[in-house]
A = this chain, B = another copy of it.
Amino acid sequence: MATEPGSRERPKRSRPNINDVAKRAGVSRATASRVLGGYGYSSQEVIERVNQAVRELGYEPDRIARTMRSGKSDVIGFVCADISDAFFSAAMRGICDVALREGSQVIVMNTDDRASQERQATKVLLSHKVDGIIITPIAVREHGHIDAVTRAGVPVVSLDRQLSDSGIDSVVADNEAATAAAIGHLIGLGHRRIALLCSVQPEEPPALRIGKVRASVAGPSRPSHDRVRGYLRALSAAGIHPDRDLIALVPHDEPKRRMQAVQTMLELEDPPTALFTADSYMTKSAFSLLSERGIAIPGDISLLGFDDLEWTTLVRPRISVVVQPSYEMGRAAAEQLFAQIARNGAPEADARGRRTVVPARFLERDSVAPSR
């Protein structure tokens, strides 16, 4: 074996494969594989020769070939609206941490809240033979493409939303309870006119039914729905009749209407004494508008927001918020996914469509005061 001239190496020297290892160790491919796989019988001497060869060549098994043979890729998929969003990137980190522990990697796909992209993403991930998929589905009712994934034998966990009428596992925050608690807090401080401002998916808005006796929201579980439900429940518990004028559901793809919605609330004949903004976008819009207009928080009006973004602690007053634990939700979803992967095909011991609820927290800060 002549040493190659250093300056002009072959541009693409392929990685050593198990045949190279076997040849160098003077054994057959099968024997090398047996040593590496730690199954069957191998003499001590052969074991050492193979390990030696592995070290000398810097052999690393090719995961593609391994996937080909075993069907397991050690890759999972994460399908979300937009990875640059703070919620998703934090969840992503949680997913990655669990995946790392499990020896897996994560492929991310963005949907921009477009159903066609979501369908495409699941197809692509399947063709990559991912071991499982974590998804924040756009539509909670139409989920044929997601069912197709489970039908192909690939585990799926739905994050932040729960699909209706499906056996798919989900990880969600207890938005309803946390919202109810937060609204209860406002009521406890004497507020009676509490506005609810919430971004909603235009295709599947919460169906508001404010009857004489009970107010409720129908439909499958997604954060906005649950928060509206929590709001209504808290009012109901305090015997306060919900006022339709105090509820603004703004399509999340029309950012301009957010500020308008806040403005409209302020101009009501009998304006609210507190605003509950049920997501980070509305919280930001409300805060911006109030500070532009020079309206004092919490002097003139109390503000209770959602999501613990950095800015809520840097502005004055610091904003009291309900926090969805995004990182933990990502972790939990991944844990659940790997549990499914582990018992793959095995009859699921418990009911299908296991629902993991992660507690949301209420962080009291300075933007809420007693009602005058």
Q: Which residues of A are interface residues toward B (Cβ below 8 A)?
A: 11-15, 60-65, 67-68, 73, 75, 82-86, 88-90, 92-93, 96-97, 100, 105-110, 123-124, 126-129, 151-153, 284, 287-288, 291, 309-311, 314-316, 327, 345
Contact = CB atoms under 8 A, between A and B. Distances in A.
A11 B89 CA distance: 33
Contacts of A105: 107-109, 124, 128
Given A75-B128, A310-B311, A93 B86 contact: no
Contacts of A62: 127, 129
A310 B313 CA distance: 12
Contact of A110 (B12, B86, B96, B153): B96
Contacts of A310: 284, 309-311
Contacts of A127: 60-63
16 contacts: A15-B152, A60-B127, A62-B127, A64-B64, A83-B93, A84-B89, A84-B93, A86-B86, A88-B89, A96-B108, A100-B110, A105-B128, A106-B107, A310-B310, A315-B315, A316-B316
Contact of A108 (B108, B314, B315): B108
B67 A15 contact: no
Q: How many copies does the complex hold?
A: 2
A243 to B, nearest CB: 29
B75 A345 contact: no
B96 A109 contact: yes
Nearest to A106: B108
Nearest to A347: B11
A210 to B, nearest CB: 33
A86 B314 CA distance: 17
Contacts of A61: 127
Nearest to A10: B153
Nearest to A85: B89
Contacts of A287: 314
A197 to B, nearest CB: 17
Contacts of A84: 86, 89-90, 92-93, 327
